[in-house]
Copies of this chain bind each other. A is one copy, B any other.
Amino acid sequence: MYPEMQIEAFLARLASSDPEPGGGAAAALVAATGAALVSMVASLTIGKEKYAAVQAEMKQAQDRAQALVADLAGAIDRDAESFRKVVDAYRLPRGTDEEKASRKQAVAKALRDATVEPARVVRLCQEIATWSRVAMEKGNVQAVTDAAIAAVLADAAAQSAALNVKINLGPIGDPSFTEPLWADLQGIMDRIRTVRDEVLAGTYEKLG
């Protein structure tokens, strides 16, 4: 649905008071844009004699980056869908005690489910960051800033998706679920930030 939408229509709907798409969909779009830039650098390196030594690695980067673009474009929809389910669960009737209990259970399940997609986006961003370093170090130097922008976007998308996990953790409550998940995501975000900083430093060095 959203991947088939025109960019300006998507932006207009994001800007509106419609509950979705929201920040989670935006995070997936930004991550997809970062992955597309990794593919672009690889595509501009493949077939160039100057880069003969890295052709296999660049083909691998291109394949994986294009798979990430497709996956993350799908994540825009999946995130919006899981958010709709949270909204639906909150709208369940709460007249009787039975309804209240049933609604509470439905909300808890919908909130847990809504952490799955953004948590996945955070993990995929680590992969984008790793490939952006390969692209920066070994790819066509004329596109080195595109590799760096991929790293910057992977970091921003991970931070954004993590915020969308975090907002659900409070209402979920259950620390046996929320604490290990959040600790895991924080570790991944730290690693992405380190890679981003290294890719930026390497890029500015190449630019002189």
Query: Judging by beta carbons under 8 Å apart, are A166 and B153 in contact?
Result: no
| Given A149-B163, A167-B145, A170-B207: A15 in contact with B3 (beta carbons within 8 A) | no
| Given A3-B6, A14-B36, A36-B14: A30 in contact with B145 (beta carbons within 8 A) | no
A33: CB under 8 A from chain B? yes
A122: CB under 8 A from chain B? no
A119: CB under 8 A from chain B? no
Most B Cβ at <10 Å: residue of A12, A14, A23, A153: A23
Query: Judging by beta carbons under 8 Å apart, are A40 and B15 in contact?
Result: yes
Q: How far is the CB of A124 from chain B (nearest CB, A)?
A: 14
Kindly state the separation between the CA atoms of A66 and B5 in the bound complex, as whole angstroms.
19
Query: Judging by beta carbons under 8 Å apart, are B149 and A26 in contact?
Result: yes
A65: CB under 8 A from chain B? yes
